[in-house]
Amino acid sequence: MTATILCVEDEADLRADICEELAAAGYQVAEAANGQDALEQLRASRFDLVLCDITMPKMSGLELLRLVRQEPGLGDLPFIFLTALASRRDIIAGKEAGVDDYLTKPIDFDLMLITVAARLDQVARIKGAVRGEGSAGGSVRSALLGADEALNRIALGVFLLDSERKVLFRNRRAEELVTEADGISVSREGLLRGEKPQQTQALRDIVDVAIARATAGDRQASQAVALSRNSGRRALFAVACPLGRGPAQPGEPVVGLFVTDPERRLSAAAEAVAQLYGLSPAETRLALALARGLRLDEIAEEFGISRNTVSYTLKNLFRKTETDRQADLISLFISSPVSLEDQ
């Protein structure tokens, strides 16, 4: 059955372009120029998903979303914001209102189509699980939504792929990586890509191995690849792990691809270690500089402090973390658990 999408956008040209892309992808599309018009349509007709601008006349996207979440029969309607607002405060406001996802303007139409398809697939899987569980469906649905939220809170990009290598799900960090398009991206067909053909092939190879092992019932082995980035930042690190056991059903995830950004992970790990050991900001900054490979004299010059101050801070670091070598200290920061992120 063809999904029906409501596009709510006050800029007529942009709304027309979005609707054209959605229609070309096979969706049925309705339009609304503001939140009030959208609310009337939502009350009158059935929709499978809403794409909605935030800043609009008559009624904003946030106001519309809050009303939709209170409407009988509309509380679970997938809702994706289209916005040029990307501040943490705006994102928190949207999450508090119950938004499911964000797409940032200017709109990347390939990313938009993939996001829409992934969200509709996720809803379909949840509904299928609920039907299969009968009276226990409510608890199953809650568990699935809880797992989704848990994955969205870790500082690691998580992609779930099917037996045809297509992305079925990606958590919030994976979405950020795709949006950055610096080392990894997703094609219009929903396939993962590197920045260069050889890296796209390397990704494909490790996923194929994981698919084969999942089919064979081997869930222990995993394959990894480094993905260089045009920005010059350190390469992403991707690990493909087989999921499940035996032949998969269509649309069932069989491979988990976990992507680490060394620079972001190191910062998140530093916060976790600093909390665990009660480190001061100066001590945390010194540990991060050591993890970057800087010598003590280079650290003193970069921070504009004396070598004696650096040595004194290092002694405090050793004492608080119960280490006695720089190598052990660096290892502590690099190997700390991935921290949970505030959303």
pLDDT tens, position by position, for the chain (343 residues)? 678 999 999 999 999 999 999 998 889 999 999 999 999 999 889 899 999 998 888 888 888 988 888 877 777 788 998 877 656 666 677 776 678 888 888 888 888 888 888 888 877 765 554 445 444 445 544 544 555 666 666 667 889 888 888 888 888 888 889 888 899 998 888 899 999 999 999 999 999 988 888 877 665 667 788 899 988 888 888 888 888 655 556 567 788 898 888 776 556 566 667 777 888 888 888 887 877 677 888 899 988 889 899 898 999 888 888 888 877 776 666 555 444 444 4
Q: Which residues contact 287 (CB under 8 A, 6 or more apart)?
A: 270, 273, 279, 317, 329, 330, 333
The residue assigned the tokens 């691809």 is: 257
> For 263-334, CATH number?
1.10.10.10
CA distance 173 to 154: 8
CA atoms within 13 A on the CB side of 118: 31
CB-based contact 317:279 (threshold 8 Å): yes
Superfamily of domain 154-260: PAS domain (3.30.450.20)
Domain-by-domain residue ranges, the chain? Answer: 1-153, 154-260, 263-334
> What's the one-letter identity of residue 113?
L
- CATH-assigned architecture of domain 1-153: 3-Layer(aba) Sandwich (3.40)
CA distance 57 to 60: 7
Length of the chain: 343
CA distance 45 to 64: 16
Q: Which residues contact 211 (CB under 8 A, 6 or more apart)?
A: 161, 163, 165, 242, 254, 255
* pLDDT tens readout for residues 252-261: 778 889 888 8
- H-helix segments, the chain: 12-24, 35-44, 61-70, 88-97, 109-133, 137-152, 172-180, 197-215, 262-277, 281-291, 296-303, 307-321, 326-334
The residue assigned the tokens 């799900």 is: 169
Look at residue 33 in the predicted model and tell me its pLDDT. 92
CA distance 134 to 132: 6
User: For the chain, what is the total number of helices (H) and then of strands (E)?
Assistant: 13, 12
CB-based contact 6:42 (threshold 8 Å): yes
